[in-house]
């Protein structure tokens, strides 16, 4: 987060447009990896802000490895988010409007290692056992909810992007 920290020295807590990347990691059981943030105690997916020269994919891969210890395989574009729904004020008063590309990753390797500075805990959640909306970082909620709805619809209709590895109990 060097670039943003440098900007913050210049502008203080004023609102910034933060270009970010995030990753929804699904294991073979179709469970979603979420991290409990150390700064606000809320759950969200791994991700963070871009550094100068980063592509969205570079940023996504780096942030996942830094925050979870995992190495992403193929990253699939999932969605972009921006605007008021991803406006956020951090506990320290820093204010951002995120412009984020979110990826889906179904294959990854490595051992889960929790980054102590930013992450309190890492857990895989079944889609029907996700934390409540109030327990999810507000700027991560739109993507998590969209994934939940899409997987729910896939279980109901058998159609969609989630038939690969579909559980028998869907």
> Looking at the domain assignment, is residue 71 inside a domain?
yes
Question: Hey, CA dihedral for 108, 23, 65, 31, is it positive or negative?
Answer: negative
Residues with Cβ within 8 Å of residue 12, at least 6 apart in sequence: none
Give the model's pLDDT for residue 154. 80
Cα atoms in the 13 Å half-sphere on the side-chain side of 70:
25
> Looking at the domain assignment, is residue 148 inside a domain?
yes
> Looking at the domain assignment, is residue 160 inside a domain?
no
Per-residue pLDDT at 78 exceeds 90? yes
Q: How many domains does the chain have?
A: 1
CB 34 within 8 A of CB 45: yes
> Looking at the domain assignment, is residue 104 inside a domain?
yes
Burial of 66 (0-12, 13-18, 19+ CB in 10 A): middle
Tokens of residue 109, six digits: 């390797």
CB 140 within 8 A of CB 45: yes
Strand-pairing partners, residue 108, are 72
SS (H, E, C) 60-89: HHHHHHHHHCCEECCEEEEEEEEEEEEEEE
Give the model's pLDDT for residue 2. 87
Tokens of residue 55, six digits: 């592509």
Q: The CATH number of the domain where 118 resides is what?
A: 3.90.79.10
> How does pLDDT run across 51-60, given as a tens digit for each residue?
999 999 999 9
> Looking at the domain assignment, is residue 165 inside a domain?
no
Of residues 95, 97, 84, 86, the one with CA closest to residue 14:
95
> Looking at the domain assignment, is residue 119 inside a domain?
yes
> Looking at the domain assignment, is residue 166 inside a domain?
no
Name the pTM for this structure: 0.88
> Looking at the domain assignment, is residue 66 inside a domain?
yes
Candidate from 62-66, 115-119, 166-170 with smallest mean pLDDT: 166-170
Range of the domain at 42: 2-154
Mean per-residue pLDDT, 88-115: 95
Q: pLDDT over 70 for what percent of the chain?
A: 91
Per-residue pLDDT at 159 exceeds 80? no
């Amino acid at each position: 987060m060097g670039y943003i920290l440098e900007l913050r020295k210049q502008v203080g807590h004023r609102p910034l447009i933060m270009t970010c990347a995030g990753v929804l990691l699904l294991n073979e059981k179709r469970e979603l990896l979420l991290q409990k943030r150390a700064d606000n105690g809320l759950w969200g997916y791994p991700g963070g802000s871009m550094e100068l020269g980063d592509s969205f994919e570079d940023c996504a891969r780096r942030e996942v490895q830094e925050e979870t210890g995992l190495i992403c395989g193929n990253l699939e574009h999932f969605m972009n988010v921006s605007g008021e729904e991803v406006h956020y004020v951090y506990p320290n008063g820093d204010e951002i409007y995120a412009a984020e590309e979110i990826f889906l990753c179904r294959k990854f390797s490595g051992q889960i290692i929790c980054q102590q500075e930013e992450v309190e805990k890492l857990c895989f959640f079944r889609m029907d056992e996700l934390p409540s909306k109030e327990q999810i970082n507000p700027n991560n909620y739109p993507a998590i909810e969209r994934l939940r709805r899409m997987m729910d619809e896939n279980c109901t209709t058998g159609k969609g992007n989630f038939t690969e590895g579909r559980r028998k109990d869907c």
